Structure 1
């Protein structure tokens, strides 16, 4: 977890008492001025929405105990987006570019200027294909969802944007550690 910035600390300071340890957090803002902070402590899951309007500030806080007897477990879900179409497209471009480069280089000795254009065009396609494959492999896909399952009361679900897996992992660790004691 990266160190909490001053703005994160300010939002959390009033809601995490001494003796309670912050495990992980996520903070994000939308274009309407709403800041959403999801924090996991060694006892609770906090959902804090902070709306900053020109005239007023509104804060909505939801706290869920992760260590109580009603907590029965967690459920983690991440939607995966298929990377295969981009990888196939990149592969086709790279192969086509390789073939064009090969025949362009072979034809350069004939004094024909079009062979050089073919070689350069092939190199561009080859580079584009490799870049697309690289980007498809490096992408983190899918929104993340963690549900705290509880008996006798409603389950609590938190949705996080694409690739934000640290908070759900922290929730799972806290719930699991409390049930192993």
Structure 2
């Protein structure tokens, strides 16, 4: 049984994670709107040097990611300390990255948008104006360490529409059918 179903108390913050092109920004912004919560796109926390590397087709290193993750974690802690609710995106590809964001924060919930390389590659190829080139998708999948049950992730397939994905997340978190 999902912990959220047995305890429908909403988390303070939801971290929407997945590889680039999985729909994190779209789903998270819709989710925040549906819940009436704040939304932050984790991409906005990247320093300019990280964005430049990715635009050039160079994968980020762990050293590139630590300050970015710390900035997202600081936002999470601020939202929690002020008694607000928020939704933030972050690829969160490795367990160590998720530990920075969620570790020691029982009121922060991870939502993992899971999809296969083919589907996500098609979606990335169709989007325009994003700094992350499709050429880095294989690197993202190589780096990805899927969340494990002890991280209490809500795992959602990206096969549906963004609205269907949001409805599934809300239903699971509330313990109520989407129409209830």
TM range (shorter): under 0.3
TM-score (norm: length of structure 2): 0.23
Greater length-normalized contact order (CA 8 Å, ≥ 6 residues apart): 2
Q: Which has the higher helix share?
A: 2
TM-score (norm: length of structure 1): 0.23
Q: Which has the larger radius of gyration?
A: 1
